[in-house]
Amino acid sequence: MEEVTEGELKAVLSSLQKDKNPCPDGWTVEFLIALYDVLGGDLLKAIEDTRTSGRISACFNATFIA
């Protein structure tokens, strides 16, 4: 499997329904898009880490419960 690219991530964020919360953290799609320059690299790294390891980090699992 190939790495997820920044372009793919931006395309997915742009395709999501606006004014909705795709994550349990309460951040809307608009928030993620507006702060992509700040958060994009970390978001892409988290996606890649999950993809390559096949596991979701424990810190993300905790947010699903909270």
Is residue 1, in this structure, part of any structural domain at all?
no
Q: Which three-class secondary structure state does DSSP give residue 7?
A: helix
Matching residue, tokens 């390559």: 52
Residue 31 located in a structural domain:
yes
pTM exceeding the 0.75 threshold for the entire prediction: no
For residue 11, give the nearest of 45, 46, 40, 38 by alpha carbon.
40
- Percentage above 70 pLDDT, the chain: 80
Angle of helix 36-53 relative to helix 6-15, nearest 10 degrees, comes to: 110
As for how many domains the chain has, the answer is: 1
Tokens 């810190």 — which residue?
A: 59
pLDDT, one tens digit per residue, over 1-14 is 789 999 999 999 88
Which pLDDT value is given to residue 58?
77
Q: Residue 51 sits in which domain range? A: 6-65
What's the CA gap between 37 and 12, in Å, rounded? 16
